[in-house]
Structure 1
Amino acid sequence: MCLFSSCCATEDDIDETDCGECSQQCEFIEEIAHFCSSSVSSSSSSLRETSYVFFSLNCQLLRGVCRGQGGRPSYLLLRAACLANRLASIEEFVDAIALQECFDEESTSLLIRKLSAYFPHVIRGKAKSGLVILSKLPVRHSVFHEFKTSSGGERLFFNKGVLGVALSDPDEDTTVCMFNAHLQSDFWRESRETREEQAKEMKTFVQKSIHSRVFVGSASSDVIDAAVVCGDLNCIAGSAEYEKIMEVLGGEKQTFRDTLPIGDDDDESLQTFPECMYSLKKGRYVVVDETTKKKRLDYIFEISEEGEVKMSRRRKTKARVVRALRDDNNVPLSDHRGIIAAIERVYN
């Protein structure tokens, strides 16, 4: 039984109880399994393939009952425990997970504790960054960049930035680079110019990192087998701002390649936010009504880099927005939907 059917559970109960194989969890597993079983590409038998799967989600573990916040402490603990069980259930298919808005220490610690048995390599960003990366692959090195440009309350209360890890694939003797970012929101005021400056900082930081032998490893056999940037950019896919940020991130060279298509404004399969909002009256999330305009704020970019660092030739990438993660009462576990992406590399 999912934890949400026991709203009076103690913290010890929350830590020990398993969400179980409710229908929502089974459907989530089936969706991820189907995504991963669909071949990214068909290749010649003379080529060797390696595939890596990444998952990204804004958890909204932000304590508070006002607009833009995720609920009371007890509710954050309930959601964190159930989120952990949902994410643990796809361990068979996913190599690494990027989480944003893990601001609340108590619920974040619970989430990590429950997930660490499945994704044992855990890296957190600077305090108040809200960034966490969990991986099945060992971490070779990690780096964090706090944005120098920020505004409004986020400048006072948060330390948003970019968290990067170089993961070691011992089976292939290669490196997988994963970055997790969360850009300025419009909660306090319209922040397009701030995000544009943060995107510039992000690009510089990512490129500097993947060109660093300290970060990716110094052995001559090392190559970057895959490199991605995941996260919540707070920028609407397909908007004029999106086009500007994509130009900042690489333009026609597509240094940062969006793994998802833009699609139509009414294509719900490509929208990630908002799924729900916290209701003080009900003490839980409530699904937004049908008139609420949804958009995609979340991304997984594949990094295509030339030059000093040798990177394997990209074969093909696929990605999708997953269904909202829900409890067994069909209540969402976050106000964002997650994104999953698979990248295959081939070698002659």
Structure 2
Amino acid sequence: MTIELRRVTADDWESWRPVRLAALADSPGAFGSTLADWAGAPERRWRDRLSIPGALDLLAFDGADAVGMASGVPDVDDRGRAELISMWVDPGSRHRGVAAALIRAVARWAAGVGIAELELSVMPDNRTARRAYERCGFVAVDEPGDRLPDGRHEVVMRRDLSPERTLEAYEREAARYTERTDDHRAALVDDLLALVPSGSHVLELGSGPGRDALALEAAGLVVDRTDGARSFVDALRAAGHGARVLDVLQDAFGGPYDAVFANAVLLHVPRPAFADVLGRTLAAVRPGGVLAATVKLGEGDAWSTRKLGRPRHFTYWTDSSLAEVVGRAGWGDVAVRETTRTGSDERWLTVTARRPALTG
């Protein structure tokens, strides 16, 4: 199943109309409107719905068939927030990643226009939808939503867009990042080479300009280049390298690999999502496989415009807290040490670990 997302406008109302009506017929209790409200609506009303100032309206297509929809609408009372509305996937296409793709697109759009938080409302008894939204990073907040006719309130859920805003900085400033990154391979390359034999197959998270992948290949390893920013992936492909877009927060990593290499990448993962990412790195390597990664040393988290001139979000770790979370994720032989270079005004940690071998 290959899903294509298309942005629609008022001129596309005839394509959007049957999907909206199908959603209202399939899930009558999930929306603020009803099928009766819209079934006989004139063209002008459909056009008006697709003309909300600053909004994003999407349809998801499987071939020629529209199988889902979603909209992002700026909050008129809070410029830092947008609302995810009109979210629906055809029953025959559920559990195939359509909802996640739509949500990801809305989140990327919101981050691109400077919005910090995405909000949605869901019926209190719709546990299936709530679990789906939780898997996509939404968290229920302790604020009542709109009052329902039976006296209950909708559940409000929000998703912090720090990862998307950080990724947007890389998308827009990939050339500047490449220009300001020196050609010397990271010390993490040597850490990995000491742990795996020549010929090992390595998944690189956050390949960026590709400097470290070249060093790993020169040493005899086979590297699968990935990055969350399409700008970097396009540049790598243009240079003749295989590369793919991979979102470390949501995508399956593939594998099995002999190692996962992540230099200055996991430092962008929000603390609540870090354990999940570590679990997926573990699943991506075969028994005995290796993790080699670097993060920033410190406490808490912060934004910085250093290097790119655009804000990027960083999560800081202490050696003990990093070792604990890596071990809890199932990794063994966890080793964490400070690897700050002399003269650097930023402090760094390196972690290496190994997936336990199968027993019995």
Fold-level match, TM-score > 0.5? no
Q: TM-score with structure 1 length normalisation? A: 0.26
Higher helix share: 2
Return the structure number with greater relative CO, CA threshold 8 A, min gap 6: 1
Q: TM-score with structure 2 length normalisation? A: 0.26
